[in-house]
């Protein structure tokens, strides 16, 4: 007998091999003018104001819409980052703040046009800002932090001038107008699609754009990819010329190892969400450009519920702060890629400055931790759970194991609990978790903003559920403090209280590792922690 039946099998192999051969590089010419950005997340709406919109949607809207003003950029340790203190005009040619700080007048660029060719007028600006503070959308809560709450505050002076009135001189009013939400929409187009139920056209704008931004949306496949085409008439960039790349492709690639392969092979140009281990090996190979910026507006915590025993006892919280194996955690979770918020030395026992986040003078010291436990009346330790969410497992899992091991040495028995993301956020919101790790980010990182949003009130972002009237009062007062020295003093006070009360333990600020082809230039770390496609160009 002979094996005739081998034939089909061999045939399959041959066809497979044939099919795999030769990928045609026919698009070489346009490739250089195209930016291909790959990400693990996806764009889910063209209007970032829609509740539930993703960070990728935020980044996209920066390129499809303009705002009145934009953040400048500065160098931090040799890397470009956004600069909260430099606000430049985007659609506004210039702006004036009145001496009492209650009025901001914006003069619009005369040459600014929407993507359909119609001019940008003060009417459009008013409609867009009204929408932001009136419609049930995300912009409302954001603009509130800058004392912008009502449509009455926006007044059209003439077709190219708009005036914003504030109830108090709020230093966050202007920066707020540079954030993602208060984008300027072509009101004529949007109104055509408004309905009685939906006067602000939220449903239509979710799937369509009507802006004046640098890029026009060519195709939008939610969860898969977005293709952008350059608007040749756009000139709001620094050099009065359109954005560099003719096309931008934003593509969802869920598997981090595949993203690393793509950028290493040169098929993708830039990626910001690789695993720390991949970044390290790509950096070591030296073929690609790796720009690591500490996310200076983000913090990773180990949080304790200050209202729940035993963590309602300050000595227990201090014991935890001295029992965490910081250095090992930092290495295991992030491969040391970030800036630590532990291990400071305060010469006179006082904070070095009034800036939050700051490095606390805590380090692994088990004897000290045992003393604090004794002072808390729990010399034998106790049992608790330590939770983290599945989405952060790659960093939080090794961390949790180290926490468990180290706390075990002082008699605290820790059960590790890994929760699906939605479940974790629900439990945090309901204040049911005793001990867990989480991260925060603030778009407008000022000391009072951090303390007001993350350390006061019975609300979700107050992870530690701390309820200290003194701290809340100082933070609230600092918000409207015009005097820089007094503001600094308030910051120092708050930081000293933080160390004393130890509501939660700040661990570090993880790096944003942007990995890009060596030809890509101009990458800037932005407040929304994504790539602003207008920043980058190719050599």
Q: Rounded to the nearest whole angstrom, what is the least distance from the CB of residue 122 to other proteins in the complex?
A: 27
Interacting positions 141-170 with other proteins (CB under 8 A) = 141-142, 144-145
Q: Rounded to the nearest whole angstrom, what is the least distance from the CB of residue 217 to other proteins in the complex?
A: 14
Q: Which helix (H) or strand (E) holds 371?
A: helix 366-375
Q: Rounded to the nearest whole angstrom, what is the least distance from the CB of residue 515 to other proteins in the complex?
A: 15
Q: Rounded to the nearest whole angstrom, what is the least distance from the CB of residue 275 to other proteins in the complex?
A: 13
Identified binder of other proteins from the candidate list 8, 99, 286, 349, rule CB under 8 A: 8
Q: Is 21 in the site for other proteins (CB under 8 A)?
A: yes
Interacting positions 183-242 with other proteins (CB under 8 A) = 206-207, 221-225, 227
Strands (E), 77-110: 79-89, 92-97, 103-108
Tell me whether residue 74 is exposed, middle or buried, using C-beta atoms within 10 angstroms of its C-beta: 0 to 12, 13 to 18, 19 or more: middle
Q: Is 138 in the site for other proteins (CB under 8 A)?
A: yes
Q: Is 36 in the site for other proteins (CB under 8 A)?
A: yes
Identified binder of other proteins from the candidate list 12, 14, 393, 473, rule CB under 8 A: 12
Joined together, the tokens standing for residue 262 give 């793509």
Joined together, the tokens standing for residue 347 give 């010469």
Which residues lie across from 113 on neighbouring strands?
A: 119
Q: Is 405 in the site for other proteins (CB under 8 A)?
A: no
Nearest to 210 by CA among 90, 88, 117, 126: 117
Identified binder of other proteins from the candidate list 23, 29, 240, 345, rule CB under 8 A: 23
Kindly tell me which of 259 and 534 has the beta carbon lying closer to other proteins.
259
Identified binder of other proteins from the candidate list 81, 249, 302, 362, rule CB under 8 A: 249
Kindly tell me which of 251 and 280 has the beta carbon lying closer to other proteins.
251
Calculated CA dihedral for residues 274, 280, 285, 286, nearest 10 degrees: 80
Kindly tell me which of 43 and 174 has the beta carbon lying closer to other proteins.
43
Note whether 499 and 321 are within 8 A (CB).
Answer: no
Identified binder of other proteins from the candidate list 19, 239, 347, 485, rule CB under 8 A: 19
Note whether 126 and 108 are within 8 A (CB).
Answer: no
Tell me whether residue 531 is exposed, middle or buried, using C-beta atoms within 10 angstroms of its C-beta: 0 to 12, 13 to 18, 19 or more: buried
Q: Is 253 in the site for other proteins (CB under 8 A)?
A: yes
Q: Rounded to the nearest whole angstrom, what is the least distance from the CB of residue 352 to other proteins in the complex?
A: 27
The C-alpha atoms of residue 516 and residue 535 are separated, in whole angstroms, by 13
Identified binder of other proteins from the candidate list 98, 199, 218, 254, rule CB under 8 A: 254
Q: Is 479 in the site for other proteins (CB under 8 A)?
A: no
Q: Rounded to the nearest whole angstrom, what is the least distance from the CB of residue 362 to other proteins in the complex?
A: 27
Interacting positions 52-71 with other proteins (CB under 8 A) = 52-53
Q: Which stretch binds other proteins (CB under 8 A): 256-264, 330-338, 469-477, 487-495?
A: 256-264
Q: Rounded to the nearest whole angstrom, what is the least distance from the CB of residue 221 to other proteins in the complex?
A: 8
The DSSP secondary-structure symbol of 6 reads H
Contacts of 535 (CB under 8 A, 6+ apart): 80, 522, 523, 524, 526
Q: Is 45 in the site for other proteins (CB under 8 A)?
A: yes
Note whether 189 and 210 are within 8 A (CB).
Answer: yes
Q: Is 417 in the site for other proteins (CB under 8 A)?
A: no
Q: How many residues bind other proteins (CB under 8 A)?
A: 74
Largest CA distance in the chain: 101
The DSSP secondary-structure symbol of 338 reads E
Joined together, the tokens standing for residue 63 give 């390129």
> b/e for 385-394, b at 16 or more Cβ within 10 A?
ebbbbeebee
Identified binder of other proteins from the candidate list 264, 283, 328, 397, rule CB under 8 A: 264
Helix (H, G, I), strand (E, B) or coil at 94: strand
């Amino acid at each position: 007998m002979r094996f005739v039946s081998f034939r089909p099998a061999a045939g399959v192999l041959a066809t497979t091999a044939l099919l795999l051969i030769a990928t045609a590089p026919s698009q070489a010419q346009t490739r250089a003018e195209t930016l291909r950005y790959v990400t693990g997340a996806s764009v889910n709406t063209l209007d970032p104001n829609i509740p539930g919109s993703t960070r990728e949607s935020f980044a996209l809207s920066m390129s499809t819409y303009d705002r009145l003003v934009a953040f400048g950029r500065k160098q931090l340790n040799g890397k470009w980052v956004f600069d909260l203190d430099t606000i430049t005009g985007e659609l506004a040619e210039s702006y004036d703040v009145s001496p009492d700080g209650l009025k901001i007048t914006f003069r619009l660029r005369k040459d600014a046009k929407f993507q359909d060719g119609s001019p940008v007028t003060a009417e459009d600006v008013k409609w867009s800002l009204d929408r932001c503070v009136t419609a049930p959308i995300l912009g409302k809560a954001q603009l509130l932090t800058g004392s912008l709450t009502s449509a009455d505050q926006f007044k059209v002076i003439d077709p190219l001038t708009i005036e914003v009135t504030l109830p108090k001189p709020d230093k966050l009013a202007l920066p707020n107008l540079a954030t993602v939400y208060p984008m300027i929409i072509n009101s004529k187009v949007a109104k055509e699609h408004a309905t009685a139920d939906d006067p602000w056209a939220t449903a239509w704008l979710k799937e369509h754009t009507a802006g004046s931004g640098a890029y026009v949306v060519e195709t939008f496949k939610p969860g898969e990819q977005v293709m952008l085409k350059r608007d040749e008439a756009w000139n709001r960039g620094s050099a009065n010329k359109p954005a560099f790349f003719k096309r931008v492709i934003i593509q969802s690639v869920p598997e981090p190892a595949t993203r690393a392969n793509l950028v290493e092979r040169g098929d993708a140009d830039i990626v910001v969400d690789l695993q720390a281990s991949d970044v390290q090996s790509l950096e070591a190979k030296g073929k690609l450009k790796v720009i690591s910026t500490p996310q200076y507006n983000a913090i990773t915590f180990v949080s304790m519920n200050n209202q729940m025993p035993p963590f309602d006892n300050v000595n227990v919280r201090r014991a935890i702060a001295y029992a965490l194996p910081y250095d090992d955690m930092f290495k295991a979770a992030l491969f040391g890629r970030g800036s630590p918020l532990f291990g400071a030395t305060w010469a006179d026992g006082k904070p070095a400055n009034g800036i939050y986040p700051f490095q606390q003078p805590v380090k692994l010291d088990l004897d000290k931790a045992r003393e604090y436990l004794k002072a808390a009346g729990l010399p034998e330790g106790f049992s608790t759970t330590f939770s983290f969410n599945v989405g952060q497992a790659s960093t939080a899992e090794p961390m949790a194991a180290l926490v468990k091991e180290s706390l075990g040495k002082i008699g605290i028995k820790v059960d590790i609990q890994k929760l699906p993301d939605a479940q974790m956020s629900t439990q945090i919101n309901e204040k049911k978790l005793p001990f867990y790790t989480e991260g925060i980010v603030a778009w407008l990182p000022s000391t009072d903003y951090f303390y007001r949003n993350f350390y006061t009130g019975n609300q979700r972002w107050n992870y530690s559920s701390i309820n200290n009237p003194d701290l809340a009062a100082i933070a609230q007062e600092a918000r409207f403090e015009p005097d820089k020295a007094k503001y600094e003093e308030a910051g120092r006070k708050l930081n000293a209280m933080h160390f004393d009360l130890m509501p939660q333990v700040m661990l570090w600020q993880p790096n944003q590792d942007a990995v890009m082809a060596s030809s890509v230039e101009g990458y800037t770390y932005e407040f929304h922690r994504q790539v602003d496609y207008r920043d980058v160009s190719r050599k």
